[in-house]
């Protein structure tokens, strides 16, 4: 029997989600006395500048719809759990819950909120890889519902059901997944084997291009995809944003290990016709051919400085810093060549010869270049992740005359870019 995958047009709450769940028999094996755990995607939070939520976070409205459906089914013990990345010290999962309306939702329906980062942990060993630590609350649930967003990802092409499970790991294990070997897209696929989600729902009210954060562009798509089969849900979701499953490394890895098919013909797609909902979205950011900076540097004629392109070893905590450096370096450009500075991040980049100074952002890249003879002057920014101010100070030490306000203005603009645009409603996140 082919695994059923529902594809439903979102027309209103809670009926659209109810239809999606019923079409794939999503609650068929849910007992009324089961402990239910819902895992949305609340990747991070910022208490200083608002994050435009569209395509970045699972919509609070759909999570509320799911709680209503579960209550109607007779479920009494429902939890919502996440392990958000702390880009700012002390601003993590509970801040995201509060900012996106989950605190009010929990009070209204008697739902429990769980911060996986503060939870106890259970361990599991990846074959040929490290031991990972997962939030114990995940393992103690009876019915785990995986609730990702329909988004692309600058390291893994897409971030859907399989990728969303990475948020169940403890912070140290999330970082381990980004080690160069055995690799990001190898490591996180094993989480699904260990957790075995009972139901995966992909929130496609908005779809995000060049995610996973709001620096990309969101589009109102208006679909919901659901299945008890996590790979099937991911395959259909990826196709709606223009990706064939064979081109997604972690799909291939998971399917090969579990003897699964990546052929859409081996899945029973119910509801909407898939071909009516396909719109290709970009996942990657363009980079200069000589790997000295993003494409916009070539466009403006920026020379001297070298910003190597991020790789899969760049952790979520350092990702915003990499984006910040791009903007700040561009702010220093006045038409003349910039100082010969190379800026590195992640875990495996090696400094190249020919630069007067090398800025190393983060403990991992400092360690990777500890004895690099090509470095004339090392400017080390320690931390995991480093403090924003220390990164700014390092760029100044490298004699880059940056304008800090350029970055804060950019961040403010990114948070406001959908304001007053038709189809982009904050009501989905309250």
Distances 169 to 37, 92, 155, 421 between C-alpha atoms, Å: 15, 14, 18, 36
Angle formed at CA 359 by CA 354 and CA 361, multiple of 5 degrees: 140
The count of other CB atoms within 10 Å of the CB of residue 392 is: 18
CA dihedral 150, 12, 53, 197 (to 10 degrees): -40
Please confirm whether the linkage preceding 182 is cis (ω < 30° from 0). yes
The pLDDT of residue 90 is above 90: no
Strands (E) in 256-348, as ranges, are: 268-271, 306-307, 341-344
User: Pick from 331, 349, 336: which is nearest to 396 by CA?
Assistant: 331
pLDDT band at 416 (very low <50, low <70, confident <90, very high): very high
The pLDDT of residue 1 is above 90: no
User: Pick from 386, 380, 379, 406: which is nearest to 319 by CA?
Assistant: 386
Find the range with the poorest average confidence among 76-80, 90-94, 115-119: 90-94
Q: Mind listing the pLDDT tens digit for each residue in 289-338? A: 999 999 999 999 999 999 999 999 999 989 999 999 999 999 999 999 99
The pLDDT of residue 87 is above 90: no
The CATH number, out of the four listed (2.60.40, 3.30.1490, 3.20.20, 3.40.50), of the domain defined by the range 4-283: 3.40.50
Joined tokens for residue 241: 């944003």
Q: Mind listing the pLDDT tens digit for each residue in 139-177? A: 999 999 999 999 999 999 999 999 999 999 999 999 999
Joined tokens for residue 161: 């059901």
pLDDT at position 89 is: 79
Q: Mind listing the pLDDT tens digit for each residue in 341-352? A: 999 999 999 999
Distances 291 to 11, 236, 310, 342, 350 between C-alpha atoms, Å: 45, 34, 10, 11, 13
Can you say how many angstroms the Cα of residue 58 is from the centroid of all Cα atoms in its chain? 11
Three-class SS state of 343: strand
Given a contact cutoff of 8 angstroms between Cβ atoms, the answer to whether 114 and 139 are in contact is no
The count of other CB atoms within 10 Å of the CB of residue 87 is: 20
pLDDT at position 310 is: 95
Q: Does the model's pTM come out above 0.75?
A: yes
Domain boundaries along the sequence of the chain: 4-283, 295-413
193/211 Cα distance (integer angstroms): 25
258/253 Cα distance (integer angstroms): 9
Joined tokens for residue 99: 């900012």
5/24 Cα distance (integer angstroms): 6
pLDDT band at 126 (very low <50, low <70, confident <90, very high): very high
Per-position b or e across 65-81, b if 16+ CB within 10 A of its CB: bbbebbeeeebebbbbb
Q: Mind listing the pLDDT tens digit for each residue in 55-70? A: 999 999 999 999 999 9
Phi, psi of 341 (to 5 degrees): -125, 135
């Amino acid at each position: 029997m082919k695994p059923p995958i529902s594809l439903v047009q979102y027309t209103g709450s809670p009926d659209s989600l109810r239809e999606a769940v019923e079409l794939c028999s999503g609650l068929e094996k849910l007992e009324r006395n089961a402990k239910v755990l819902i895992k949305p995607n609340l990747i991070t939070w910022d208490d200083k500048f608002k994050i435009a939520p569209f395509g970045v976070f699972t919509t609070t409205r759909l999570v509320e719809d799911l709680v209503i459906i579960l209550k109607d089914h007779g479920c009494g013990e429902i939890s919502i759990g996440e392990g958000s990345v702390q880009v700012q010290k002390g601003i993590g999962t509970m801040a995201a819950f509060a900012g996106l309306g989950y605190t009010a939702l929990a009070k209204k329906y008697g739902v429990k909120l769980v911060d996986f980062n503060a939870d106890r942990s259970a361990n599991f060993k990846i074959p040929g890889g490290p031991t990972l630590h997962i939030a114990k609350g995940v393992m103690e649930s009876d019915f785990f519902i995986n609730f990702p967003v329909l988004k692309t990802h600058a390291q893994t092409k897409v971030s859907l059901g399989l990728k969303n499970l990475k948020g169940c790991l403890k912070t140290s294990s999330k970082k381990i997944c980004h080690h160069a070997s055995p690799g990001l897209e190898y490591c996180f696929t094993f989480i699904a084997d260990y957790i075995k989600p009972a139901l995966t729902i992909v929130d496609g009210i908005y779809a995000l291009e060049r995610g996973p954060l709001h620096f990309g562009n969101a589009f109102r798509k208006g679909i919901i995809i659901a299945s008890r089969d996590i790979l099937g849900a991911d395959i259909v979701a990826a196709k709606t944003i223009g990706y064939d499953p064979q081109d997604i490394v972690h799909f291939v890895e998971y399917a090969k290990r579990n003897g699964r098919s990546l052929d859409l013909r081996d899945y029973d797609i119910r509801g909407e016709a898939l071909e009516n909902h396909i719109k290709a979205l970009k996942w990657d950011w363009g980079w200069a051919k000589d790997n000295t900076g993003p494409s916009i540097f070539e466009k403006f004629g920026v020379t001297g400085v070298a910003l190597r392109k991020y790789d899969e070893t760049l952790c979520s905590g350092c990702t915003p810093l990499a984006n910040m450096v791009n903007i700040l370096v561009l702010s220093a450009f006045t038409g003349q060549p910039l100082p010969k500075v190379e800026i590195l991040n992640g875990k495996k980049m090696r400094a190249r010869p020919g630069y007067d100074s090398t800025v190393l952002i983060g403990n991992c890249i400092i360690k990777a270049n500890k004895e690099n003879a090509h470095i004339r002057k090392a400017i080390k920014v320690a931390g995991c992740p480093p403090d924003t101010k220390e990164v700014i100070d390092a760029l100044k030490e490298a004699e880059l005359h940056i304008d800090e306000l350029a970055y804060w203005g950019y961040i403010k603009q990114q948070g406001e870019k959908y304001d007053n645009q038709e189809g982009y409603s904050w009501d989905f996140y309250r």
